[in-house]
Structure 1
Amino acid sequence: MKKTIWYSIVLIAMLVLAACSGESASAPKGSNESNGGGESNETFTYASTSDAVGLSPILMNDAVSANITEHVYEQLFTRNSETQEFDPLLAESYENPDEKTWVIKLKEGIKFHDGSPFNAEAVKYTFDKLRDPATAAPRASLLEPVDTITVVDEHTVEIKTKYPYGPFLAALSHTNAAIVSPTADKKQDLMKDPVGTGPYKFVSWTPGDKVELEANEDYWDGAPALKKIAFKVVPEISTAISMLQTGEVQFIDNLPTEQVKRLESMKNINIEKKDGTSVYYLAFNHSRERNQDADFRKAVSLAVDRDAFVSKLNGLGVRSDSVIGPQVFGFDEGADKAGTAYDVEAAKALVEKNGYGDEPIKLLTANRDNFILMAEIVQAQLTEAGFKVEIESLEWATFLDTARAGEYDMTFLSWSNVTADGSELLYPNFHSDNVGSSNRSQYSNPKFDELVVQSRTTIDQDKRLQILDQANHLMIEENVVLPMYHGIVTTAMDKNYTGLEVDPTGKWSLKNVTKK
């Protein structure tokens, strides 16, 4: 009898404890209850098919890493997606005493996650390191126009450029122009242990698994509602979608075309789509003799039916011959259909006449769904025209290194264009200054270089538009690259959450996301 009473007391106590803890047998896997008031202590998880390359804005240069660093670090300016203007972020204001001088006032009272002060010295340190050749920063080109950086006082920095630089605010809004903690950078590897001023602080990185961040409770613009966020590696997108459906994952982006109908049938998510600034293109390795042959590039361009490819994107791609996309500064409608039209018979004639099918083409691609789809379709189309094509698929980080090293004949590249400025598309990707770094196509053309330089060295925006259009047409006419499509920014998020901020550049922020 005493045992029965004892077991009853224990059972009641267990039930009371369970009720107090808020646990529920019906809660979805990986989910915890909210603590109310729009804030949640559960981990909000974003799934990516690839792991980050690194977490220092100075040294990394890929979209997967940028998704993380954008939450840890901040820039002096940010692009307003509604007005397409550049608003101060860490900056308070700026003025131009003359065309080559930028005096930037900084917000006061901001601290890095390590407790050190954000100030003019930190800005100078970051920018000096970014542009130092010894750093070998992949996006050092952002600050190529800078001549001197001077600390005027604790919260004022003066930057003088070598020439009037039209897209300077766009450059300062770039992910890779984010400000790092000098104190942290001197004592640790920011690629593995980042320290910024952003709404989230770094917790841990398990390579191949996930990166974990926690809310910066002292964030200068107010602590975010989501207290824990994770960037989880899920190599198979179909698995990530299943995890989204079951609640193990709350957010994915870059929705694959073949999964759109499945996603649209899911009742527990919201899908968002908007025209974006990204461009995806077939690139020739211009350092190789065969690719320097204008007829070879023309034969390839004639053989590729881009309309057939875009039709398979289920509305997630915009067809245009223009390298500069419709959402990017510098686009002109006259470039929209100015490229080499599909004509497989003409391609066959050029291949047969010049023996282009004698030597196989190494077609490099990343192991991401749309890249693989492009590779398979283009391989089939080129084969029909008489080319011999061998596909090599690599994991994302390895792919980037291999492409940068020029170890391919042709490849598929993309550029998210987070500044939405044509100069900041053409200069890093195709100007000869950047061969061996961001110019992965190894393209070098003095006439083109001069046009790009002109587009950067005037603050007359109408003149910049005209020059960018000339440079764009030069690329189109010479088949320098073959634009496959311009991106649609897509996201899918658990309906229990709201407040996601998505920009046409593909950047997104969880800072204002709350649980309903």
Structure 2
Amino acid sequence: MYDERFPGLRRRGFLAATTGAAALALVGCGSGTDDGDKADTGDGKPKKGGRLRAAFAGGGASETLDPHLANLFADVARAKALYDKLADYGPDLSAQPRLATRWEPDKTLDRWRITLREATFHDGRPVTAKDVLYSYRRIADPKQAFRAKASLEPIDLDASRATGERSIEFVLKRPTAEFPNILAAFGAYIVPENAGEATDFDQRPIGSGPFRFVSFTPGRSAVFRRYDAYWEGAPHLDELEFVVANEESARVNALLGGQVEYAHELNPTTARAHEGKGQIEIVRLRGSAMQAFCMKTDRAPFDDKRVREAFFLIADRQELVDGALSGAGVVGNDLFGKGYEYYADGLPQRAQDLDRARALLKQAGAEKLKVTLDTSAVAAGFTEAAGIFRDQAAKAGVTIDVKMGSKDSYWADILDNGTLCCYRSGAMPIEAHISQRLLTDSTTNATKWKHKDFDALYQQAQSTRDKTERAAVYERMQRRLYAEGGFLIWGFADWILGTARNLKGVEAKAPANTLDWARFDKVWLA
């Protein structure tokens, strides 16, 4: 089942641990450096050579290297090692050029001209406009269930065309000022023309990424080798091996035992136990996951904005971060995307105010309000957050009944059922959060926020060429959400990695699933 709250990823790849026996299969014992001249000299400069072994939770025998089917974190990390996108998200979730070196709109923002850089696939063929159009049309195939399909919906692919070997004119169905976000969409990787027909992605995948294919055993391991002709420069590593370890304890033990140098997805308790102890390094990717309570604005009691404001004021955000996230995060301010491009950081930080909350509930005729809060063990911290908020609400005279739901059906159920639920989301542009979750026709509108004037503001932003003017529109929208929206966003969780002490160059500033996350072409073994 997909987790719609974390774009591009299946739910299993988002959780802190998975069930079942861990399968840690290593295709070789070599790690670190190969000879004396590659040893660490202590100068901090990148060193060449060695095989890095990275442990991720996997998807079992159904795993694939088809980049358009990437859903788990492991899938995405493998895909970005083998393939490229036209753009990708920087630390602030703004679109950064990758295979596209330039994008330029016409005056009406419904036609965009894209220029490709000089890059080659692993078989030596140049990356061309035909490859890009083929890739996007493959993703958009109505017979397929590729993850990036919805992101590409604004493009009229029948009308779009190659205007040269390395130039494309994309024709859009509507003005789209944030078109570069589409180029950076999760799963929008570029494959060679006719790759779907000519290539078995799991046997001989050909991309333009920093590593080329060596071997792949679904549910166990994948081995890639440095691509010396990579357009951004060859990786420092000789080889990269992905190994599967579904249990967090298996990943940690493999790291501690020297079987891997990189362990993805650790929980805060593990991080606290090892941080600063010298045996391994703990890397915290800040701002990686929004933590929230979702109030359904189309039904009682949350169809009254005074009740929603009261709930904003009931929350003690620091207590929630400390208790539900074990302190591994920062407080939120009822707005998505803290630290991201267009974030309205000028709004005052909301604090608990129980007197004001009680007064608002009295005005709304809800002095002795009783409400059910749906939660589940589907995500780390959900059950803890529900219990903490229940106790906070009691101080304002609100009775919350915490209802535990099934991990298997939780994400599907909360979109339409209930009135209040635990919610989380991974990193994505603020514009994408608005378009996918807060418009009348959004497919994952969990708060049922449906306002035509709000929709009109989004269309105004998308039709505004000047970025400063567009940012002002986004701020207006966020001020509205801050005042009366349905997301009580109480925190932003760290994403936690563990690395061996000899692994260098791991980027700590990038949220999970952005460009600099899992950038194994930029790391080295000292």
Q: Smaller-chain TM-score range?
A: 0.7 to 0.9
Contact 2:65-2:75 at 8 Å conserved across structures? yes
How far did residue 61 of structure 1 move?
5.5
1:316 matched residue in structure 2: 328
2:54 matched residue in structure 1: 45
1:92-241 alignment runs, 5 A limit? 92-96=101-105, 98-100=107-109, 101-108=111-118, 110-111=120-121, 118-131=127-140, 135=144, 137-147=146-156, 148-186=159-197, 196-201=207-212, 203-207=215-219, 210-217=220-227, 219-221=229-231, 222-224=233-235, 225-236=237-248, 238-241=249-252
Contact 2:65-2:205 at 8 Å conserved across structures? yes
Report the secondary structure of 2:171's partner residue. Answer: strand
- Of the three residues 453, 461, 466, the one matched with 2:459 is 453
Aligned length, in residue pairs: 474
User: CA 1:220–1:32 in 2, change beyond 3 Å: closer, same or farther?
Assistant: closer
Deviation digits for residues 43-79 of structure 1 (CA, Å, limit 9, x no counterpart): 5123348889875554555655433322232111245
How far did residue 499 of structure 1 move?
2.1
Contact 2:317-2:351 at 8 Å conserved across structures? no
- Of the three residues 310, 320, 326, the one matched with 2:338 is 326
How far did residue 114 of structure 1 move?
7.0
User: CA 1:352–1:307 in 2, change beyond 3 Å: closer, same or farther?
Assistant: farther
1:4 matched residue in structure 2: none
How far did residue 161 of structure 1 move?
3.1
* TM-score, reference length from structure 1: 0.76
User: CA 1:514–1:403 in 2, change beyond 3 Å: closer, same or farther?
Assistant: farther
The separation in 2 between residues aligned to 1:327 and 1:472, in whole angstroms, is: 14
2:441 matched residue in structure 1: 433
Please tell me the residue identity of whatever aligns with 2:33.
Answer: S
1:423 matched residue in structure 2: 431
Deviation digits for residues 422-456 of structure 1 (CA, Å, limit 9, x no counterpart): 21221123223332xx5455543322222222222
The separation in 1 between residues aligned to 2:322 and 2:387, in whole angstroms, is: 15
The separation in 2 between residues aligned to 1:274 and 1:247, in whole angstroms, is: 23
Please tell me the residue identity of whatever aligns with 1:392.
Answer: G
Please tell me the residue identity of whatever aligns with 1:123.
Answer: V
- Of the three residues 341, 354, 358, the one matched with 1:346 is 358
Please tell me the residue identity of whatever aligns with 1:431.
Answer: L
The separation in 1 between residues aligned to 2:372 and 2:91, in whole angstroms, is: 44
- In the alignment, does 2:509 pair up with 1:498? no
The separation in 1 between residues aligned to 2:403 and 2:501, in whole angstroms, is: 43
* TM-score, reference length from structure 2: 0.75
Report the secondary structure of 2:85's partner residue. Answer: coil
The answer for unaligned runs of 5 or more in structure 1 is 1-28
**CA RMSD after TM alignment:** 4.0
How far did residue 460 of structure 1 move?
1.3
Contact 2:100-2:117 at 8 Å conserved across structures? yes
2:34 matched residue in structure 1: 35
Deviation digits for residues 359-394 of structure 1 (CA, Å, limit 9, x no counterpart): 744324524x34454344345545773121112252
Structure of greater relative contact order (alpha carbons < 8 Å, 6+ residues apart): 2
How far did residue 480 of structure 1 move?
0.9
User: CA 1:135–1:379 in 2, change beyond 3 Å: closer, same or farther?
Assistant: farther
Please tell me the residue identity of whatever aligns with 2:401.
Answer: K
Identity %: 20
The separation in 2 between residues aligned to 1:251 and 1:344, in whole angstroms, is: 48
Contact 2:56-2:74 at 8 Å conserved across structures? no
1:10 matched residue in structure 2: none
- Of the three residues 395, 400, 410, the one matched with 1:387 is 400
Contact 2:375-2:382 at 8 Å conserved across structures? no
The separation in 2 between residues aligned to 1:264 and 1:324, in whole angstroms, is: 29
